[in-house]
Amino acid sequence: MGNYINIGNSSFKEAREGGFIDKSSLIAEVNSTLGTKNKRICVTRSRRFGKSTAADMLCAYYDKSCDSRDLFRGLSIEADPTFEKHLNKYSVIFVSLATFTTKFDHDPEIVKKMEQTLMHDIHGDFPDVEMRPQDDLMDLLSRIAQSKGEKFFMIIDEWDAIMREFRNSDTVMVHYVKFLRRLFKDPITSRVFVGAYLTGILPIMKDWTQSALNNFDEYTMIEADQFARHFGFTSEEVKALCLKHGMDINEMKKWYDGYQIGDEPSMYNPNSVISAIKRNKCRNYWCSTGAYEAITKYIKKNFEGLKDDIISMLAGGRCKVDYTKFSNDLEVIKSKDDVLTVLIHLGYLSYDSTDKKCYIPNLEVREEMRHAVEDVNWPVVTKAIEASDALLQSLLDGDAMAVAKGLEEVHENETSILSYNDENSLACVMKLAFYSAQDDYIIHRELATGKGFADLTFIPRPNVDKPGIIMELKCNKDTATALQQIKAKNYAAKVCQYTTDIIYVGINYDVDSKMHTCEIEKA
């Protein structure tokens, strides 16, 4: 047993003892590729989405130096027909790149020193195999494979750490790409490796590493395919956890749900769920890491339309994004679409492949986005958010004048937060003005109900004792017309499924005078 080869199953054993959710069906997916042309897999996820735990699990399963049968007892993989075939059958090389970027920080010879370290460690497990002075890692592995009949399974956790930390060193980048190419694109690769599994934050970089890794099958936060359910916790898994630990599933959903990954429509941030259970409290577990600074870095770039999109998503909206042109490099950001794509890969936005739009998935991320907006100094937006509690209370109190005045204050310091000349943009700004309402309400835009589509519908979240709100917006008309439309088209029909306590709100915006008027009526 070494530091990088056949390291055993102790890390996975710790995971099993610490609230592990059964994701062992991942092993069956990997097993199906072993010894085939598809044996090279690169799975990239946001931080805190279980990359390292998955790598530890694979290591425990394949590593021939240990007996992991008991660790997998009762897990789904135990019933899979491939379970016995590959259990503890291979020499596993496990490399955490973050270890080397920390140890050899700013060292231009990091790749050479990493390779020498791996060779020394591996040779320690096979001391009777000759290691020649001019050997590189692949020479040594090939000689072991030939003389011992061995095939290796290789795991590289955070494969992109060198690409991130040494981005400004062409020398390091070139050496690392050559290292990867030698391992995974050499004619003898198939004789040496039965399989390879890479994890990282970003997909394979198009400008630097694509040539070395273009024979890998990639699975990402945007294109997860059959690996989707392994990226986070599903609704069923979180419900079971909440039942076991006496947690409120509705609070969990509000704080950590909302990621759509592949065909999985409702995925939770796994690390945050486990943290909430350990502390018996739902709160923002990203805030302690200064996560919003990562968002700030990108939204400060201020590409055309980016500010409007961020504001719209803060207010609960969705925005179109084209992720296909992004080079998968955190330092090469050329457009608004690149910024949004980075935020998807980092877990601050989620992506819906059906409408090709991104959005803020939950309360935890929304708080981080708000912190970022405050940091980039968008005063009108920050003021609107700070005033949103009082504005909602005025509405619930039936104070129509205060609501109208509050909306004007959101608008008065700039000609436009967004293009503010029609009901569509009015709705976006309204949702921003009532930002804090998202804590207690699920806010729907253009909800199909009754005989039409209500402009804005606020449906109380489960266990929230507040009235439903139906809001009709008009430009250059009047509030009476808005209220009449709510009643005539029976917009209350769907809200009545959740509560019979409903408030009707009619709002009109006069484009010429830039004045808002409001009328509030109890249903």
Mark whether 90 and 65 lie in a shared domain.
yes
CATH of the domain at 405: 3.40.1350
State the pLDDT at residue 210. Answer: 64
State the pLDDT at residue 423. Answer: 59
- Domain encompassing residue 276: 233-280
Tell me the pLDDT tens digit for each residue of 215-268.
899 999 999 999 999 999 999 999 999 999 999 999 999 999 999 998 888 999
State the pLDDT at residue 328. Answer: 84
Tell me the pLDDT tens digit for each residue of 352-391.
999 999 999 999 999 999 888 888 888 878 888 889 999 9
Which of the listed residues 280, 315, 344 is the one where a domain comes to its end? 280
| Average pLDDT, integer, range 152-179 | 92
State the pLDDT at residue 446. Answer: 87
Closest CA to 436 of 370, 507, 379, 348: 370
State the pLDDT at residue 290. Answer: 57
Mark whether 371 and 399 lie in a shared domain.
no
Mean pLDDT of the chain: 90
Mark whether 395 and 486 lie in a shared domain.
yes
Mark whether 371 and 452 lie in a shared domain.
no
Q: Does residue 5 lie in a domain region?
A: no
β-strand pairing of 502-510 with 193-200: unpaired
| Average pLDDT, integer, range 10-35 | 92
Tell me the pLDDT tens digit for each residue of 49-108.
889 999 999 999 999 999 999 999 999 999 999 999 999 999 999 999 999 999 999 999
State the pLDDT at residue 414. Answer: 47
Closest CA to 471 of 446, 498, 500: 446
Mark whether 128 and 35 lie in a shared domain.
yes
Lowest mean pLDDT, pick from 113-117, 179-183, 245-249, 284-288: 284-288
Q: Does residue 285 lie in a domain region?
A: no
State the pLDDT at residue 432. Answer: 83
Confidence of residue 291 (pLDDT cuts 50, 70, 90): low
pLDDT at residue 281 is higher than 90: yes
Number of domains observed in the structure of the chain: 4
Mark whether 439 and 415 lie in a shared domain.
yes
**How far, in Å, are 224, 304, 431, 475 from residue 424 at the CA level?**
33, 20, 11, 10
Closest CA to 53 of 364, 218, 345, 271: 271
Q: Does residue 506 lie in a domain region?
A: yes
Tell me the pLDDT tens digit for each residue of 415-461.
445 555 555 667 777 888 899 999 999 998 888 888 888 889 999 99
Mark whether 65 and 149 lie in a shared domain.
yes
Mark whether 237 and 385 lie in a shared domain.
no
